[in-house]
Amino acid sequence: MAKEYGVTVNRIRKEATKVRKAMNGNVTLEAIVAYIKQTGHGIVYFNIPWGDEELRRYDLVDTAKTKKGFVYHQIAQIVFIDDTLPHTDKIRVLLHELGHIVLGHIDEGVFALKDHGIQELEAHTFARMMLDGGHMTTDNHWFAITAMICVVMLAGLKLSIVKGGATNG
């Protein structure tokens, strides 16, 4: 597990460093939006009339009710983000969604993540590294290790109900 985690963190760090370099170290909302557009994705802000129309167009209204942002990959390649978020939250959410894009988590569709828990953690780690200058503080590093171990353990744990009790199986 430690080796797998180290490989994952190194890969995330490499991608974060590459993106930060392309942004000339300026991790601003404008630079993030520009980089996302360079990947071939559009940006749609929802909770405003035009963005809400796009949600209806792609049948994503229910999805947007439970998310601050998400990547859509079916008819088009779009990053949707809640326009009512404060500026700093928009940066964090867009970095998270950019993490999904640059780490190759998206196939086709809005929910095409192959291993959702681990990939959410990887996207979060990417966003943290972008905000922390391409590295992780000790606290963030240990949090990420602990969280990834928990996700992997839970993903491997299959519970089934057997006569009123739970069993590992």
0.85 surpassed by pTM = no
DSSP state string for the chain: -HHHHHHHHHHHHHHHHHHHHHTTT---HHHHHHHHHHTT-EEEEESSHHHHHHHHHTT-HHHHHT-SEEEEESSSEEEEEETTS-HHHHHHHHHHHHHHHHTT---SSSS--SSHHHHHHHHHHHHHHHHTTSS--HHHHHHHHHHHHHHHHHHH--EEEETTEEEE-
Q: Average pLDDT for residues 14-35, to the nearest whole number? A: 95
pLDDT in tens, 40-73: 999 999 999 999 999 999 999 999 999 999 999 8
**Which band of pLDDT confidence, cut at 50, 70 and 90, is reported for residue 108?**
low
Q: Pick the residue with more confidence: 119 or 55?
A: 55
Instruction: Please report the domains of the chain, with CATH numbers, ordered by start residue.
Output: 2-140 (1.10.10)
pLDDT in tens, 133-152: 755 554 555 555 555 555 45
pLDDT in tens, 72-97: 988 899 999 999 999 999 999 999 99
Amino acid 136: pLDDT: 53
